[in-house]
Chains A and B, each alone.
Chain A
Amino acid sequence: MLLLNIIVRYFFIMTIIELRKFIDFLIERDYLVWTPVKKDNFVNYERLNGSDNFQFIGEAPFYSFKNFLVPCEETLFNYKKDELTEIDNSKDQVIFGINPVDLKALVLLNHIFEKDPWYQGRMKKTLIIGQSLIPKEPEHNIFHYKYEEDVLEHLQFDIFIEVQKGVFNTKYFFYTGSEKGQKILDEYGYSEYENIQFAGPIKEEGQDKNMIKYRDSLKNNYKKELWEKDLGTKCIECGKCSAICPTCFCFDIKDQPDLKNGAGERKRTLSSCFYSDFSEISGKYKFLNNTAERIYFWYYHKFVKIPDEFSIPGCVGCGRCAKVCPVGINIFKVLSELDNNEESIQDTIS
């Protein structure tokens, strides 16, 4: 019976041709479909207008999905004199093919923006479609995550596609993680999916071991040399690492007046704790006074504050920050330094 089941299932599993048909269906439904595309050796999200030649890319896209859900800049309200009118910026979109490493970042953003009407509005209209290929470059998976079926109940998605490479062809298993995901597959006329119930971000075996290790180190063992001599003198505070990081979400809220008198927009813009005015209050007084304090604050947020608040790591190890840093600061090396109990200071530059 079980064998029969497996055989039957096997025949109904999608092939690449069927997967492309599903993509065409989404495009026809007027969704903006974003997916990682490789061009001239550069992988990045692009809008799909058709499914021709579509393949899942087993490499990390340069940018993550972050800005589809948390744009660099968005209008929250229009105002006229004293009146604020809430603006809805959401549109129907599909983020197609988020890898399991980046999906961990989505779990975090979902927590952070749990009560945020703009994020939630956008999520309502967004189909999150994950896929199982872990980035093959080790520097884009610094915590060595593996794809195993049991990670799915700790990730959030509408649909998740497991890519199974066979000898003759590749097959695609479908899982759903929400009613929205089931609905769209039902409408498409595909029913061979398995539904996964989200069991929260923390695995049965308990909190992430790396998270506990780095939290302890940052909290209880301040490495003066590392922060003040090494990183504090090398980082040029460009903020690129914040911009590219899928879990960096700190923001400003600012008003932008129109030319018309008394009207304008209240905007949210992604910010960075590397910018010198991040902590500034009136009288130019700052709480983060130098580069060392700022870069420590950045690491502390990811490896202590977020773990304390949500019991999950604030870094998924995608390695993007190391890739963009103009002075070569490499998070992997910084973390090994944190893990190193001797006060010896190695160069944390790659």
Chain B
Amino acid sequence: MKNQYKTQLVKILKIEEEGSESKLFTIKAPKDFKFKGGQFIQVSLPGFGEAPFSICSDPNQKKSFEICARKTGVLTSELHKIKKGESVGIRGPYGAPFPIKLVEKRDLLLVAGGLGIEPLRPIILEILNNRKKYQKVQLLYGACEEKDLLFSGEYEKWRSGLEFFLTLDKPKDISGNLPKKWKCQTGVVTDLFDRAKIYRNAVAFLCGPPVMYKFVIKKLKELEFKDEDIYLSLERRMHCGVGVCNHCAVGSFSVCKDGPVFSWERIKDIRGAI
């Protein structure tokens, strides 16, 4: 029988530094590999285990895809040692994506905190590449420090197609100023809600840490967003990735299979969901 845990070896085509602790890996896509923004893969490095990573590239790009991994522990440290031309094992893509179809007809608000920009990048790139298909789009992105900014080489391109607001928690230099080139401000991502004039009746896609969700959802509710118009991606510990091991359970859902993207409507009553 088909073995869901069997990995496929794929070649690393390119490795770039992203921010100070992350690397962007361009990986040769296996035959018939298709994904949507918000989905993830399990990366396997025998001896170091497996871990989930969001696919962060343009879904229209068929020959290769990208993941951006921050070095935080055992597996990610080993992943950072890999060289171009070497291979890793993968399985997936897994999980429920952000409902991009929904925003062909509606305005879109993207809110990202820290690494949360990763699963939203496929959405950004898809929209920029097919700009006419979509409506108005705003992106609010908050990171901790300048060194944590991801995909900074693309910000000009992003700005060309969507309203992009950027904020950093901690200013960089001693004088407390932020380098002008980022066109950003200081503060947390919710502060941007007072700056940007958020579109009413938009759909919101969020990705960030649980604390961000608490504050952002509060803001969105003040702006009268409906619970079913708010989508967020949850992070949980994962082992199987296919809805069996129960490490990622949230209420009656398995984040790996029923999520990671959920509408707020579906999870708002679950204790400990955010």
A-side interface residues toward B, CB under 8 Å? 76-77, 79, 81-84, 86, 112-113, 115-117, 120, 222, 249-255, 257, 262, 264, 266, 271, 273, 278-283, 287-288, 293, 296-297, 300-301, 304-305, 308-309
Contacts and interface: CB of A to CB of B under 8 A. Distances in A.
A115 B88 CA distance: 24
Given A84-B6, A266-B46, A279 B245 contact: no
Contacts of A79: 46-47
Given A86-B3, A309-B252, A250 B46 contact: no
Given A253-B49, A262-B47, A281 B89 contact: no
A84 B252 contact: no
A113 B239 contact: no
B73 interface: yes
B46 A279 contact: no
A158 B205 CA distance: 50
B239 A84 contact: no
Interface of B: 1-7, 9, 44, 46-50, 72-73, 76, 87-89, 235-237, 239-240, 242, 244-247, 249, 251-252, 271-272
Contact of B1 (A77, A117, A282, A301): A117
**Majority secondary structure, A binding face:** mixed
A79 B246 CA distance: 25
Contact of B236 (A81, A84, A281): A281
B252 A308 contact: yes
A346 B160 CA distance: 64
Say whether chain B's binding surface is mostly helix, strand, loop, or mixed.
loop
Nearest to A288: B272
Contacts of A308: 252
Contacts of B5: 76-77, 117, 253, 266
Nearest to B236: A287
A116 B244 contact: yes
A308 B47 CA distance: 36
Closest 9 pairs (CB-CB, A-B): A79-B46, A308-B252, A282-B72, A250-B246, A305-B252, A117-B3, A253-B239, A257-B47, A251-B245
Nearest to B71: A282
13 contacts: A81-B46, A82-B88, A84-B44, A84-B89, A222-B271, A249-B246, A253-B5, A253-B49, A253-B50, A255-B48, A266-B46, A301-B249, A305-B252
A295 B47 CA distance: 32
B42 to A, nearest CB: 10
A293 B49 CA distance: 27
A266 to B, nearest CB: 7
Nearest to B239: A253
A269 to B, nearest CB: 10
Contacts of B7: 84
A249 B236 CA distance: 18
